[in-house]
Amino acid sequence: MAVQERTLVLIKPDAIQRGLIGEITTRFEKKGLKLIGLKMMGLDEALLREHYAHISEKPFFPSLSKFMQSTPVIAMCWEGLEVVDAVRKITGITKARQAEAGSIRGDLAMSVSCNVIHASDSLENAEVEVKRFFKLDELYTYNKSEYMHVYAADELE
């Protein structure tokens, strides 16, 4: 049985500068996902070290950190059935110029670093990342009337 999940997406500085907020957000909306949290925020070194702990010792980390602090980002929390995996598929692989056509990175970016969005890579990480970027009262619960057309009835039980 599929389960409702939550995942974190960050619209990165390159996408903010290139005017791609609407284009990116539209793709998630059209997919049928539910937006339950959204805000603009500046990231600092401490938060980036935590968020990118798995790569914070890599030689490219200082320039990645500088890039991620270069403009505010948009943080979004999306909800849906098996949404962590679905969003990673829509996102495409890290090296954008090799990402599959049709994916956000495949269609909108060419760089390894400036790859327009972040998306949580596992359910476990998604839970930690959503908590890292959103307070409980910044996440909303509401009925999406569209759901009856997005999912089959037995998927919503």
Catalytic residues: 118
DSSP 30: H
C-alpha distances in Å from residue 43, one per residue of 6, 67, 77, 116, 129:
21, 10, 17, 15, 14
Locate 12 and state its tokens: 């990165």
98 binds ligand UDP (CB under 6 A): no
Binding mask 20-59 for ligand UDP (x = CB under 6 A): --------------------------------x--x----
Task: Give the range of 24-32, 112-120, 128-136, 139-147 binding ligand UDP by CB under 6 A.
Answer: 112-120
115 binds ligand UDP (CB under 6 A): yes
Measure the CA–CA gap between 44 and 131, rounded to whole angstroms.
Answer: 16
122 binds ligand UDP (CB under 6 A): no
Residue listed under structure tokens 């059209």:
30
Residue listed under structure tokens 């948009």:
74
Binding ligand UDP (rule: CB under 6 A), the pick from 112, 123, 139, 150 is 112
